[in-house]
Structure 1
Amino acid sequence: MCTMNNNNLKDSENFHNSSWTIAKLMTSFFLLISISYLFYSLGFITHSYDCPQKKPYPFPTTTHFSNKTAPPPSQHTNKTTTFEEKKTIISHIVFGIASSSRLWNHRKEYIKLWWRPNETRGNVWLDQEVKSEPSEEHLLPTLRISSDVSKFKVKNPQGDRLGVRISRIVSETVRLGMEKNNNNVRWFVMGDDDTFFVTENLVKVLQKYDHNQFYYIGTNSESHLQNIHFSYNMAYGGGGFAISYPLAVALERMQDKCLQRYPALFGSDDRIQACMAELGVPLTKEIGFHQFDVYGNVFGLLAAHPITPLVSMHHLDVVEPIFPNVDRVEALKRLIGPMKLDSYGLMQQSICYDKARHWTISVSWGYAVQIFRGIFLARDMEIPARTFLNWYRRGDYTSFPFNTRPFSRNSCQKPFVFYLSNATFGGVGDETMSEYIRVQPNPDCKWKMPDPTQIQVIKVHKKPDPHLWDKSPRRNCCRVQPSKKDGTLVIDVGECRKDEFAHE
């Protein structure tokens, strides 16, 4: 068995005393830490209840940025804010109108109809000088002569340098430096001298887009074969198209070199689209631009206009006058009245039914009203009737890039068409009142049902809606109203009410 000596006992006693002292110190230290943490926690809880509850978690409660202003928005935010706060107006648009000296004296009458002196800005670009009448200078855009394009190669057997000249109109307009004197050019709009623009609707369409970005806006031809031959990615120049200012600047910088790479193209609009392809900018389609690559009567297209603003109509010398028994200029003049009253509603179709007489009624506001014997479903009525022929005479109804319906050969199913005769602002309930009369006879019909020949005039009441195109697109509703006057049909057109839709 082992034993300890005295020295070992003393060392052991000293060790135990030292260990007890350290233990007491450690205990005191941990006790102090615990008490401090307890007081800190109580203070934090008390402080938390005193804080105003303005910013929920996870927003910081510190005042690190309390005396500092918020960081400035990014450049992109500035542009977006400007775009939203100040909408595009007519003076932000610069028109480039393609014309020729040979046709100018006749075609200028079309431009006078839609040009708004002291409001619209732009130029007519001609191949050579024409005689200008001082009395009408303020009624037309500025006349300019296109620069020489003889240096550009042309290899298309059916084409000439006219296409090259017209394709450079936007670039030549940019080179005029209009933005230097008045820095508010947002859009360049291209059109032909036989194009009729509804400027208020053009502005409304362009308001949807940020002019600071690259935009190429227009639409295709009414001929499928035309679109196949040229391109479904191309905006047809006669119907008109819009190019945002920064894109126009980019086009001007590269277009001349671009054109040299496409000598085999035919027209101006396909040359522009080729350069847009090199810039990587696709076509943004707005179907309110109308090329009217058709022959004959465009009544079917206009009476069933798509649910979008009517922006333009082209080929006015090719199609028949839009109103019968008058020339083309006089026919377009008749649209000026409803355009001034309610341009947003112009040509917009409404479909309703006279249930008592079993009639279907289609209102193309500001243009025409049709009455059909019997009930036609809305799905059929919104399809354009084939009153027109394809641009390619051999083309049949399969040659259109949209649905069409045949114009009935049954004499009893032919519509009674009432054309606009007058449009006024009634003043009662802020409504417009437009009148429509029948100017063409209908063939005899032996059906035993009420005959629309008893109707001499149709009166349509409509309240203009300045926010029509700020909402999701929807066709207006129409309602047949009681009439105390024989031979008069009264119709109310307006925003559809709750649970209202076109049905028998």
Structure 2
Amino acid sequence: MFTMMKNNFKDSEHLYLSWTFSKLIAFFFLLVSVCYLFYSLRFVTHSYDCEQQNPLPLVSHLAPSIDYAIEEIPKPSFDETNISHIVFGIGASAKLWKQRKEYIKLWWRPNQMRGIVWLDRKVEADSKDKNLLPPLKISEDTARFSYKNPKGHKSAIRISRIVSETIRLGNTEGVRWFVMGDDDTVFVTENLVKVLRKYDHNQFYYIGSSSESHLQNIYFSYNMAYGGGGFAISYPLAVALEKMQDRCIQRYPGLYGSDDRIQACMAELGVPLTKERGFHQFDVYGNLFGLLAAHPVTPLVSLHHLDVVEPIFPNVTRVQALKRLQVPMKLDPYGLIQQSICYDKRGTWTISVSWGYAVQIFRGTFSPREIEMPARTFLNWYKRADYTAYPFNTRPVSRHVCQKPFVYYLSGAVALSNVTKSEYVRSGSNPECRWQMQDPSQIQRVEVYKKPDPHLWDKSPRRNCCRVVPTKKKGTMVIDVGECKEDEVVEL
């Protein structure tokens, strides 16, 4: 019996322990659940508070630590592209070097620019040119490359390799862009820099423009940057080009020039042409007046084929004419040759100002749509082609004596306190007109006042406005040119 009682006791004790253990486990889970519940409620409460209450106190509370962090981290400086970031590669010929070097002297800035003139053979050095020109180098021998175009010249291969040869010379620290041009190309370097600043030099960019001849663009490519007008290649793209260019050149022995070989390699690299209309190939003959007097609303970057066309100012040499253009170029490069259109209601005249170059006065009223089109004072590169062979709109030069413009060319320019004053003198004479209206022949001189705008091309493109200013100066017209005012419209 004792044994039985002992066993019953053990069973009761076992049941008691099991029940106690179960209670402990249940209590533990209950405790965890309650804790989790409180945690969840706290989280929900804070979320609810953030939605219902103004978050500014929280920001205000954190502000001191944020300000402290900002003070500890220096702000990165924005390093804009400047002329020192550009390396020029100029393709030149020893045969024409004596006359062509005068064009380079016009725009080259010793000790400020980096670049090399690449020649086919050694030329006689002139001590006077030592500090006025880039260093001269002889291109590598390209005899190993095949050239099969019957109309071209094998020098195209060596010129196409200028960027690659420049990279192999080393000393490319800080270089962002390689800019190609010919020895008869004149650059407006301030505008070149302004254009390149728009693009990320760390990316692949191939920047330039097409020909003024539709047939040229068909024969070569609308996707090609014409080398005479100049083009820019970003540094990483130039490095990629150098690695594959020699193999690429071998695949295109039938191409004509250097620029189409560059474009063929760009096509293999998958890089399209980014067009900037301020690079001018000028595949035309004759007088550039029509093209310059109605320049597109874009920075003037380059001029080419200066040995082929007439001097841009009458009665002077080509170099003398370009030196005259340098005067307004230094005063306001961003506004150079930018067109403005306005009307003189008293005389019923239409006025077109190509700042820093020329002013035209037309009898009667012409719409801006017509005046902004270049007059065909020039001839097509293919002399049998007519006006339909241009890739842009043009207008005919009027044959009616009364509709011929009175033209005034730049004679000089100066900087005043906060504006520039440029003067334009009448060129030539106009045939007698029998229209019963006031005759502009009484105007012998035009004064144009313009405030330079360094941010002109940082804004959306728009022509400047011009206004005829009353004056008592006999035989003189005074014009104010500047940013269009609010609601100012060029209306007939």
TM interval, short-chain normalised: 0.7 to 0.9
Q: Paired residue for 2:456?
A: 468
Q: 2-side partners of 1:45 and 1:322: how far apart?
A: 76
Q: Provide the secondary structure at the position in 2 that maps to 1:178.
A: coil
Q: What residue in structure 2 maps to residue 5 of structure 1?
A: none
Tell me the equivalent position of 1:441: 429
CA pair 93-48 structure 1, distance change in 2 beyond 3 A: same
Alignment of 1:420-499 (within 5 A): 420-427=410-417, 430-499=418-487
Could you tell me which amino acid in structure 2 is paired with residue 154 of structure 1?
Answer: Y
Deviation at 1:134, TM superposition (A): 1.9
Q: Which residue of 1 aligns with 2:269?
A: 279
- SS state at 2:130 partner: helix
Instruction: Give 2:162's aligned residue.
Output: 169
Equivalent in 283, 287, 290 of residue 293 of structure 1: 283
- Equivalent runs, 1:294-333 vs 2, <5 Å: 294-333=284-323
2:406 pairs with one of 416, 422, 442: 416
Give the deviation of 1:178 after TM superposition.
1.9
Are the structure 2 counterparts of residues 42 and 317 from structure 1 closer, same or farther at C-alpha, using a change threshold of 3 Å?
A: closer
| Residues in 1 aligned to 2:320 and 2:203: alpha-carbon distance in whole angstroms | 39
Q: In structure 1, what is the Cα distance between the partners aligned to 2:468 and 2:455?
A: 24
C-alpha change, 1:496 and 1:37, in structure 2 (3 Å) is: same
- Shift of residue 40, structure 1, vs aligned partner: 6.2
Residue 134 in structure 1 maps to residue 127 in structure 2: yes
Q: Which runs of 5+ in 2 are unaligned?
A: 1-22
Q: Choose 36-45 or 87-96, whichever is displaced more.
A: 36-45
Q: Give the drift of 1:159.
A: 1.9
1:153 and 2:141 aligned: no
TM-aligned CA distance change 1:332 to 1:53, over 3 Å? same
Tell me, yes or no, if structure 1 residue 102 matches structure 2 residue 95.
Answer: yes
Instruction: Specify the alignment match of 1:76 in structure 2.
Output: none
Q: Does 1:187 align with 2:177?
A: yes
Q: Offset at 1:53?
A: 2.7
Per-residue CA distance 1:182-209 (angstroms, 9 max, x = gap): x211100000000010000000000000
Alpha-carbon separation, structure 2, partners of 1:86 and 1:226: 39
CA, structure 1 residues 147+416, in 2 after alignment: closer, same or farther (shift >3 Å)? Answer: same
Does 2:206 correspond to 1:204? no
Aligned to 2:381: 391
Shift of 1:54: 3.8
- Counterpart amino acid of residue 431 in structure 1: V
Of the candidates 52, 55, 68, which is equivalent to residue 53 of structure 1?
55
The residue type paired with residue 91 of structure 1 is S
Q: CA deviation at 1:135?
A: 2.3
Equivalent of 1:257 in 237, 247, 253: 247
How far apart in 2 are the matches of 1:175 and 1:121? 15
Measured after TM superposition, the shift of residue 52 of structure 1 is 8.3
Equivalent of 1:124 in 117, 126, 133: 117
Per-residue deviation at 1:160? 2.5
- CA separation in 2, counterparts of 1:246 and 1:501? 44
C-alpha distance in 2, partners of 1:100/1:137? Answer: 18
* Alignment partner, residue 501 of structure 1: 489
Q: Report deviation, 1:326.
A: 0.4
**Paired residue secondary structure (1:91):** helix
* Amino acid of the structure 2 residue aligned with 1:494: G
Q: State the SS of the aligned residue for 1:122.
A: strand
Q: Which amino acid aligns with 1:485?
A: K
Distance 1:396 1:37, change over 3 A: same
List per-residue Cα deviations over 1:434-489 (Å, max 9, x = no partner).
00001211111111111111001100000000100000000000000000111110
Task: Please give the secondary structure, in 2, of the residue aligned with 1:85.
Answer: coil
Q: Which amino acid aligns with 1:474?
A: R
1:89 maps to 82
Letter in 2 for 1:191: G
Work out the number of aligned pairs and report it: 456
Distance in 2, matches of 1:249 and 1:265, equals: 23
- The one-character-per-residue Cα deviations of 1:267-300 (angstroms, maximum 9, x if unpaired) are 0000000000000000000000000000000100
Q: Give distance in 1, aligned partners of 2:250 and 2:211.
A: 26
Match of 1:9 in 2: none
With structure 1 as the length reference, what TM-score do the two structures score?
Answer: 0.85
Partner of 1:337: 327
Q: Would the alpha carbon gap of residues 373 and 54 (structure 1) be closer, same or farther in structure 2, given more than 3 Å must change?
A: same
Query: Structure 2 length normalisation: TM-score?
Result: 0.87
SS of the equivalent of 1:123 reads strand
Change (3 A) 1:146 1:449: same
Query: Residue 237 of structure 2 aligns with which residue?
Result: 247
C-alpha distance in 2, partners of 1:283/1:218?
A: 7
Once the two structures are superposed, what CA deviation does each residue of 1:101-135 show, in whole Å capped at 9, x if it has no partner?
10000000010001111111100000000011122
Q: Distance in 2 between matches of 1:426 and 1:441?
A: 31
1:69: Cα distance to partner?
7.9
Change (3 A) 1:363 1:39: closer
Residue 365 of structure 1 pairs with residue 365 of structure 2: no
- CA displacement 1:393-416 (0-9 Å, x = unmatched): 011000000000000000100000
CA distance in 1, matches of 2:261, 2:131: 32
Please state whether the residue corresponding to 1:445 is helix, strand or coil.
coil
CA distance in 2, matches of 1:445, 1:40: 95
Residue in 1 aligned with 2:368?
A: 378
Deviation at 1:214, TM superposition (A): 0.5
Q: What are structure 1's unaligned runs of at least 5 residues? A: 1-21, 74-80
